[in-house]
């Protein structure tokens, strides 16, 4: 089993290591190592198309992660007070949302938003003053943020609920016995204890949103995120610049994932 595990990890990580190595290639060919250099990182960071795509990805990821953290925490706390078959139904819906392939979420979101826009645009045209041009709803940053938020909420709910399940309920009951309001109990007792889980959920959500290509491909409209830019570029051939982008994205993602894991472990130790 150890040998099998080693082979699996090598199969997964050797290609990633090759990409990281060839991102330092001094030559122009992505498959021929001709010395080591960091010039492709400089060219990547000075490319205006890459920076525009990076700015879009950061904006979408931060906003989606923030909204998912807020709404997901609210849903997780609310679900703690639900028992019986109703809770089972909600649990099933949450886990299904995580398990559904991204392409299904992307197609479903695309169809839903297009249908909604087709219904709302004529209404806006009628209600809008005649001396100005009515706004037209279409795919763009809004649809990207909405699609990612809906997907990431399920992830935040699972993380926060796991922390709530391990929390000592006696502290909440003691707060109620001391005549604290429900909101006061949440603000002074519950929130400080689940905050590491909320922050971990935010970091994981940011990583998932920043790295997402499938859902963004369907709902981005005219916007270009960094994964979409990479996909469009590799259709013309893989270059050291693409390797540099992949290496930087990988590094940032690993840092965020490790930070989220550390926060979750610290939260578990505090609970113990």
Taken in order of first residue, the domains within the chain and their CATH numbers are 50-271 (1.10.3720.10)
Determine the Cα–Cα distance for residues 50 and 42; give it in Å rounded to an integer. Answer: 12
Mean pLDDT over all residues of the chain? 83
pLDDT value at 133 more than 90? no
Percent with pLDDT over 70 in the chain:
94
According to the model, what pLDDT value does residue 60 have?
92
Largest CA distance in the chain: 73
Q: Is 37 exposed, middle or buried (0-12, 13-18, 19+ CB in 10 A)?
A: middle
pLDDT band at 21 (very low <50, low <70, confident <90, very high): confident
25 backbone dihedrals φ, ψ, rounded to 5° = -70, 135
Tens-digit pLDDT profile for residues 207-225? 889 888 888 888 888 888 8
According to the model, what pLDDT value does residue 25 have?
79
Tens-digit pLDDT profile for residues 71-121? 999 888 888 877 778 888 888 888 888 888 888 888 888 888 888 888 888
Q: Is 254 helix (H, G, I), strand (E, B) or coil?
A: helix
According to the model, what pLDDT value does residue 139 have?
84
pLDDT value at 68 more than 90? yes
- What does the chain come to in residues? 272
pLDDT value at 270 more than 70? no
Higher pLDDT, 169 or 204: 204
Q: Angle between the 191-211 and 48-79 helix axes, to the nearest 10 degrees? A: 140
Overall average pLDDT of the 260-272 stretch: 67
Answer whether 240's CB lies under 8 Å from 25's CB.
yes
Answer whether 159's CB lies under 8 Å from 201's CB.
yes
Beta bridge partners of 36: 25
According to the model, what pLDDT value does residue 271 have?
53
Q: Is 73 exposed, middle or buried (0-12, 13-18, 19+ CB in 10 A)?
A: buried
Determine the Cα–Cα distance for residues 180 and 178; give it in Å rounded to an integer. Answer: 6
pLDDT band at 70 (very low <50, low <70, confident <90, very high): very high
According to the model, what pLDDT value does residue 267 have?
61
What is the DSSP track for 133-158? PPP---SSHHHHHHHHHHHHHHHHHH
What is the DSSP track for 155-201? HHHHHHHHHHHTS-HHHHHHHHHTT--HHHHIIIIIHHHHHHHHHHH
| CA Rg value for the chain | 23
Tens-digit pLDDT profile for residues 150-183? 889 988 998 888 888 777 777 777 777 677 777 7
pLDDT value at 266 more than 80? no
């Amino acid at each position: 089993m150890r040998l099998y595990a080693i082979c699996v990890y090598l199969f997964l990580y050797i290609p990633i290591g090759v990409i990281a190595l060839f991102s330092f290639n001094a030559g122009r060919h992505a498959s021929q190592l001709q010395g080591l250099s960091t010039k492709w990182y400089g060219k990547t960071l000075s490319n205006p198309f890459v920076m525009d795509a990076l700015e879009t990805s950061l904006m979408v990821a931060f906003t989606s992660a923030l909204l998912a953290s807020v709404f997901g925490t609210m849903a997780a706390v609310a679900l703690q007070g639900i028992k019986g078959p109703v809770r089972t139904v909600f649990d099933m819906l949450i886990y299904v949302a995580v398990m559904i392939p991204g392409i299904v979420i992307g197609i479903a979101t695309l169809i839903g938003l297009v249908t909604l826009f087709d219904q709302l645009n004529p209404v806006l045209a009628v209600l809008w003053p005649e001396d100005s041009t009515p706004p037209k709803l279409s795919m763009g940053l809004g649809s990207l943020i909405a699609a990612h938020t809906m997907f990431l909420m399920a992830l935040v709910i699972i993380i926060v609920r796991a922390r709530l399940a391990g929390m000592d309920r006696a502290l909440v009951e003691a707060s109620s016995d001391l005549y604290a309001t429900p909101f006061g109990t949440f603000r002074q007792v519950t929130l400080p204890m689940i905050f590491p889980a909320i922050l971990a959920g935010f970091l994981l959500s940011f990583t998932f949103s920043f790295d997402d290509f499938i859902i963004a491909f369907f709902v981005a409209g005219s916007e270009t995120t960094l994964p979409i830019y990479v996909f469009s570029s590799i259709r013309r051939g893989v270059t050291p610049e693409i390797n540099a982008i992949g290496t930087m994205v990988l590094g940032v993602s690993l840092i965020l994932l490790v930070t989220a894991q550390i926060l979750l472990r610290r939260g578990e130790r505090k609970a113990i």
